Amino acid sequence: MEVPMTVNDFLFRAETLYGPKVAVVDGERRFTYAEFAARCHRLAHALAGLGIGKGDRVGILSPNSHHFLESFYGTSLIGAVLVPLNYRLVSDDFRYAFAHSGAKALLADSDLTGALDAIREGLPEVEHWIVARYGDAPAPDGWRDWEELIAGQPETPPPDPELDENDLVSINYTSGTTARPKGVMLTHRNFYANAYHYIIHMGASHDDAAMWTLPMFHCNGWGGVYALTAVGAKQVIVRTPEPETLYRLMRDEGVTFACMAPAVLARILDFERADEYAIATKPRFAVAGAPPPLTFVERLEEERGWTFMQLYGLTETAPILTVAEPRPHIDAEGRARYRLKARAGHPSLGVRLRVVGEGGRDVPRDDASIGEVAARGNMVFKGYWNQPAETASVVRDGYFYTGDLATVDEHGSINIVDRAKDVIISGGENVSSIEVEDTLYRHPKVLEAAVVGVPDERWGETPLAVVVLQEGAEATAEEIIAFCRDHLAHFKAPRRVEFVRELPRTATGKLKKFELREPYWAEGGGRRVN
Question: What is the full per-residue pLDDT of the chain (530 aa) written as tens digits?
Answer: 999 999 999 999 999 999 999 999 999 999 999 999 999 999 999 999 999 999 999 999 999 999 999 999 999 999 999 999 999 888 889 999 999 999 999 999 999 999 999 999 999 999 999 999 998 999 999 999 999 999 999 999 999 999 999 999 999 998 644 457 899 999 999 999 999 999 999 999 999 999 999 999 999 999 999 999 999 999 999 999 999 999 999 999 999 999 998 888 988 998 999 999 999 999 999 998 766 677 888 899 999 999 999 999 999 999 999 999 877 677 666 677 888 888 899 999 999 999 999 899 999 999 989 899 999 999 999 999 999 999 999 999 999 999 988 899 999 999 887 676 677 888 878 787 877 887 898 899 998 899 999 888 888 889 999 999 988 999 999 999 999 999 999 899 999 999 999 988 754 456 778 788 878 876 554 455 54
How confident is the model at residue 525, as a pLDDT? 46
Give the Å distances, CA to CA, from 517 to 143, 151, 230, 462. 47, 55, 43, 12
Return d(Cα 253, Cα 237) in angstroms, integer.
11
Tens digit of pLDDT for each residue in 311-369? 999 999 999 999 998 776 776 666 778 888 888 999 999 999 999 998 999 999 999 89
How confident is the model at residue 515, as a pLDDT? 84
Task: Look at residue 304 and tell me if it is in a domain.
Answer: no
DSSP for 387-420? -HHHHHHHEETTEEEEEEEEEE-TTS-EEEEEES
Q: For the purposes of burial, counting CB atoms within 10 Å of the CB of 389, is it exposed (0-12), middle (13-18) or buried (19 or more)?
A: exposed
CATH code assigned at 457: 3.30.300.30
**93 residue type, one letter:** D
DSSP for 263-308? HHHHHHHH-TTGGGS---S--EEEE-SSPPPHHHHHHIIIII--EE
How confident is the model at residue 523, as a pLDDT? 56
CA gyration radius for the chain?
23
Residue that is last in its domain, among 195, 211, 244: 244
How confident is the model at residue 421, as a pLDDT? 65
Task: Look at residue 335 and tell me if it is in a domain.
Answer: no
Backbone angles phi, psi at 178, to 5 degrees: -100, 165
Task: Look at residue 377 and tell me if it is in a domain.
Answer: no
CATH code assigned at 92: 3.40.50.12780
DSSP for 410-475? TTS-EEEEEESS-EEEETTEEEEHHHHHHHHHTSTTEEEEEEEEEEETTTEEEEEEEEEEPTT---
Give the Å distances, CA to CA, from 131 to 67, 106, 108, 326, 407. 10, 8, 5, 45, 47
Task: Look at residue 286 and tell me if it is in a domain.
Answer: no
Return d(Cα 463, Cα 64) in angstroms, integer.
26
Task: Look at residue 78 and tell me if it is in a domain.
Answer: yes
How confident is the model at residue 524, as a pLDDT? 52
Return d(Cα 454, Cα 530) in angstroms, integer.
8
> Which residue range(s) make up the domain with 496?
423-524
Residue that is last in its domain, among 244, 271, 290: 244
How confident is the model at residue 179, as a pLDDT? 54
Task: Look at residue 520 and tell me if it is in a domain.
Answer: yes
- The domain tally of the chain equals 2
Report helix angle 8-18 to 66-76, nearest 10.
120
Task: Look at residue 87 and tell me if it is in a domain.
Answer: yes
Task: Look at residue 379 and tell me if it is in a domain.
Answer: no
**CA neighbor of 452 nearest in space, from 364, 516, 530:** 516
Backbone φ/ψ region at 525: left (φ over 0), alpha (ψ -120 to 50), beta? left
Residue that is last in its domain, among 199, 223, 244: 244
